Structure 1
Amino acid sequence: MIYLYYDSRTGNVERFINKVVQITGWTALRIQDGLEVQEAGHLITYTTNFGKVPEKTETFMQQQAHLISSVTSSGNRNWGRNFAIAADKISENFDIPTAMKFELSGTLEDINQFIDIIKNQHYDSKRGSEKLDIA
């Protein structure tokens, strides 16, 4: 079973996750205060304030990073170089590979790419996959 841990403020990440779960049957848990993670999984979050990691995501990672195999972030391409940069910051701060970045709630192509990456590439390295840093 693959576990996905996600943070969503405007609903974009939640819509992305709901589509992934509908296709795969994977387990998705929304990050909230007191969430106790027992299983290794993948983080999906958003970028806020033109390039910041959401506070709830940051707190979650400080407590659970040892169980997170990859990070994926949504963003808005209008932010230029700060597009989905939360993934880059989390990757660097917690030494976790970036799986991918997608805009807003993602396209069907984004969803299929995410599923492929998680299913087929995340088992290849120390924490997931060095190959994952394709974003």
Structure 2
Amino acid sequence: MLVVYASKTGNVARFVERLPVRRLWIRSGEERVEEPCVLVTYTTGFGQVPAEVERFARENWAWVEGVAASGNRNWGANFAKAADTLASRYGWPVLLKFELSGTEKDRERFLEALQRLSP
């Protein structure tokens, strides 16, 4: 399955680039997909969804089958909150929340979640 992602500091990019998946980097939010995908994003500010991810989600929501987000546990309740916000807004399941660029175990969990989504 296609993994579509946004990365500001490189943490999400490092996470996704270590996965054996096809991927598309959201740079402006104007990217379009016409196939099932999952969305991986960073969380910005104090738990907000990045603007480019908001734009992408509005135009491609029907193709997205799940969402994951990176964050910093120092943010407490706002840790990786972009995933929760998008899941609530669009009805997507939260596949994973991970800190910074994630661990090997996080990548394994993410791949397991992808397998559960695939027919």
Q: Which residue of 2 aligns with 1:129?
A: none
Contact 2:49/2:85, CA 8 A, preserved across alignment: yes
Aligned length: 118
Q: CA deviation at 1:38?
A: 1.7
Letter in 2 for 1:15: R
Over 3 Å off, 4+ runs: none
CA RMSD in angstroms, aligned pairs only: 1.1
Q: Which residue of 1 aligns with 2:4?
A: 5
Is 1:122 aligned to residue 117 of structure 2?
Answer: yes
Q: Which residue of 2 aligns with 1:133?
A: none
3-state SS of 1:9 partner: coil
Which residue, 14, 24, 28 being the options, matches 1:29? 24
Distance across 2 between alignment mates of 1:40 and 1:122: 10
Which residue, 55, 75, 79 being the options, matches 1:79? 75
Which residue, 83, 88, 105 being the options, matches 1:109? 105
Distance across 2 between alignment mates of 1:4 and 1:123: 13
Instruction: Describe how 1:30-69 pairs up with structure 2 within 5 A.
Output: 30-33=25-28, 34-69=30-65
Contact 2:32/2:59, CA 8 A, preserved across alignment: no
Letter in 1 for 2:111: I
Q: Which residue of 2 aligns with 1:128?
A: none
Unpaired runs of 5+ residues, structure 2, are none
3-state SS of 1:96 partner: coil
3-state SS of 2:84 partner: helix
Query: Normalising by the residue count of structure 2, what TM-score does the alignment of the two structures yield?
Result: 0.95
3-state SS of 2:67 partner: strand
Is 1:70 aligned to residue 66 of structure 2?
Answer: yes
Unpaired runs of 5+ residues, structure 1, are 125-135
Which residue, 90, 95, 102 being the options, matches 1:94? 90
Q: CA deviation at 1:32?
A: 2.8
Q: CA deviation at 1:123?
A: 4.3
